[in-house]
Amino acid sequence: MSDQNEIISPTYSMKLNKVFIIIVGILVISGCTNMKMVYTEDKATLLERNGSFTIEVITEELIKDLPEPLRKYLRVCGYIGTPIPVNANVYWAESWLKMSPKKDWRSLNTIQFNSINPIGRVAYMKFLSMPVVAQDLYRDGYGEMNGKLLNLVRVVFDNSKETAQSALITSFSEFMLIPGYLFLENVRWEYIDDLSVRGILIDNGIQVSGIFHFNEEGLFTYFETDDRYFKMGKNTYEKVRFSAIVEGYKMQGDVKICEKVKIVWHLPEGDYEYYKGVIEKIVFNVTE
């Protein structure tokens, strides 16, 4: 049995040095940046810009030029007489991600911030079953998907133009979640019928469109678009029909907010539901 005070051998010491050098190399290559800090910094950048906007109140006069399904939605949900959001924190009580059609669901902790003017969205996701964290970002025509193992080793990174367009559409699909988006000057609304409206959005040279559907009560039920890209392989993308579906609402004070949400890709081989979650609360016009 070795003595506890035995001097470490030169060979063992060399092995330790090699391990140390490898770890340092990984940290340097991966850019040892805590993803939660990145989220906080990206959110702070958008918050600073939100501070220059005057917060108005949603009135019947303000909504008079919107298509009737949008006006009815704002009335039914109780937004008339409330301040127009310039931003919002979205708190998820639970959220789940399926990384491919054949994979199992993975539970997440998700926190999210949306900026209305300028359009921006940043979401931080921490997997509960493995040491992986990720962030989705859209800002000023730039989109990014970034994931790291142990907050160190980059396992996913995509900032292609296709990702930028897809990230903008994610924000677009949340226009009814955070109704301040409805009043942007760079979105055009086209009445289809009493239960549906087409939106055409242009932001930093990216144009996307989609249809917002409502039920007889006036509540938003789902958004669909053909303008979002699905990643088929490395540097290979294809536009695939995409839906964001609201399955339930709840009261938050005097307003009614979306609660149960799921996201679906309509692939040729069948529907792929890849995200689902339950919203705990939405806090509008935050300062931190």
pLDDT the model gives residue 155 = 86
- What pLDDT score was predicted for residue 10? 46
* Predicted structure pTM score: 0.87
List Cβ neighbours of 200 (8 Å cut-off, separation of 6 or more).
Answer: 187, 188, 190, 207, 208, 209
CA angle 279, 285, 288 (to 5 degrees): 90
C-beta pairs of 98-103 under 8 Å, 24+ apart in sequence = 98/272, 98/273, 98/274, 98/275, 99/274, 101/267, 101/269, 101/270, 101/272
For the chain, what are the domain ranges?
A: 31-284
User: Tell me, which fold does domain 31-284 have in CATH?
Assistant: outer membrane lipoprotein receptor (LolB), chain A (2.50.20)
Selection from 89, 125, 86, 124 nearest residue 108 by Cα: 125
pLDDT of residue 18: 54
Residue 269: CB partners within 8 Å, gap ≥ 6?
Answer: 101
> What integer pLDDT is reported at residue 2 of this predicted model?
38
Task: Note whether 219 and 245 are within 8 A (CB).
Answer: no
* Parts of the chain with a pLDDT under 50: 1-10, 12-13, 16, 19-32
pLDDT at 93 (0 to 100): 97
Determine if residue 207 is left, alpha or beta; phi over 0 gives left, psi from -120 to 50 gives alpha, anything else beta.
beta
Distance CA 191, CA 188 (A): 10
- The C-alpha angle with vertex 171 and arms to 169 and 175, in degrees rounded to 5, equals 110
Strand pairing category for 229-233 and 196-203: unpaired
